[in-house]
Amino acid sequence: MNFKGISYYLSLFCFPISILSFINILYSSYFDYFLSINSYIIALILSFLISLALFFIGKKTVKKINFIEQLILIILVYLLVSFFIALPFYLSNYQVTFLNSYFEAISGITGTGFSIFKNIRYLDPTLILWRSSSQWLGGLYFLFFLILIFSNKQFNYKMNDLTYSGDGNINSESNIKDLLLKIFILYSVSSLVIFLFLNISGIRMFNSLNLSMSLISLGGFLPTNSLERIIKSNPQKLILIFSLLISMLNFFLILNIFQKRIIIRDHKEDLYLVLISFIFILLVHLSGYSGLDIVISVLSSLSNSGLSLMSSNNNLSLFFILITVVGGSLISNSSGIKFTRIYILLKTVFAEIIKLVSPNSIINKSIFNSEKKITDENIKISFLIFISFFISLFILSGILIFDNIDFEKSFKLSILTITNTTTSAMFGMESMDFINLLTTSKLSMIMFMIIGKIELISIFLIIKKIFFKD
């Protein structure tokens, strides 16, 4: 195991916390928030020193790490970076325990949006900005992780097999670095564009900034108690819809649009996602609801954001919960099982049924009716991820029931945790009290928020590598 190589890359992911800390120090100084400035100074010093130590440990070693080492790196990034993010919460004047602080940090970096703070309106503005920044950074990191994993030759899913980006053939380290840089620029520019549109629409600058970071990362942290306090007009709702849509779709689609080389046949996954979104919106409309709030709720559920302007009855809330399981594009900040994998599984099942009925039938094994064919590896991995999702759901639901949470809430909360989706009135979960959960529940949810991002199959692969030698 190349631990020094892991250490080197870990330092690169930890260092940006120093930059975020410095920004918050400047923000605190400018607005005279001196009560909280010391916490960001401590976070800056610790993150910088530990990043520096990790960098020098791995500086003079082989930088190349294999697939399993990449998975270990990703887990360590979530655990260590969250430690630095937790410090300002813990060192604030709100008397938050370190476990609760760490829970908030994990919730931020995974884009889940669960919060131990009940009244965000009266929270220190620097802490609100810190929460939103952690989401934004977590979203960027997740896109980086996707590129690194999908481009690894040891991973059976080749990027161009399932994403149709036209950029899937990554053969060199320089190409990967170039792609990561493009992702960073596009992610930053998209955040800026959303911020400007929100601000122009009449939302004050501070709320626009924080909401833009939440939308691009598909997180659930808000600068106030509810979305209704920010989004009030139809133009603002349309901006929200647009933001959720671009964050849910394949990030390469947005990249290709910017580069003016969009090819429709390369992005059929996105077309199918738009189509299924329309079907879900129509189903909700037939239930007696109308207006742009429906569109926001469906896209928010499908993208695993969880932000909504509407409340719903029990039946409809369960419908929205189940949509979160579907998820968005493979190359996006959404979680869930992912639409492409569900498509592969459903098409395979239908093909097997047709074989039983008519053995001589010619079966179309293409993905989204393109030139790409469904391989045995595609089916195997999609099935394993599907099964691991429900194993995670069963385990977490059982743990939460022991915390005196009724079965329905445990079930809903487990799905939201594993899909990294925040609670809201749309799911009938707006009154969830996270701060008073048992320690076992918090620790379990911390673990499954991370698993929701990296998927349980990744943990199985690491265990297999460590304990079961080939």
C-alpha pair distances (Å), 135 with each of 110, 142, 266, 325, 369 = 7, 10, 30, 21, 36
pLDDT value at position 79? 95
Cβ(337)–Cβ(451) below 8 Å: no
Count, in order, helices (H) and strands (E) of the chain: 19, 0
- pTM beyond 0.85: yes
Nearest to 462 by CA among 111, 66, 157: 66
* 93-108 confidence digits (pLDDT tens): 888 999 999 999 999 9
pLDDT single digits (tens) 286-343 = 877 778 889 999 999 999 998 988 887 777 888 899 999 998 888 888 888 888 888 8
The lowest-confidence range among 55-64, 235-244, 256-265 is: 256-265
What pLDDT score does 188 carry? Answer: 93
pLDDT in the model for residue 167: 44
CA distance 463 to 6: 17
Sketch the domain layout of the chain as residue ranges: 160-470
CA atoms within 13 A on the CB side of 289: 22
Choice between 444 and 157, residue whose per-residue pLDDT is larger: 444
Cβ atoms of 116 and 100 within 8 Å: the answer is: yes
Q: Tell whether the model's pLDDT for residue 262 goes beyond 70.
A: no
Rounded Cα–Cα distance for residues 448 and 318 (Å)? 21
Q: Are residues 412 and 375 in contact, defined by beta-carbon separation less than 8 angstroms?
A: no
**Residues of the chain above pLDDT 90, percent:** 43
Q: What is the pLDDT of residue 165?
A: 44
- Average pLDDT over every residue of 444-468: 82
Instruction: Decide if 44 contacts 25 (C-beta within 8 A).
Output: yes
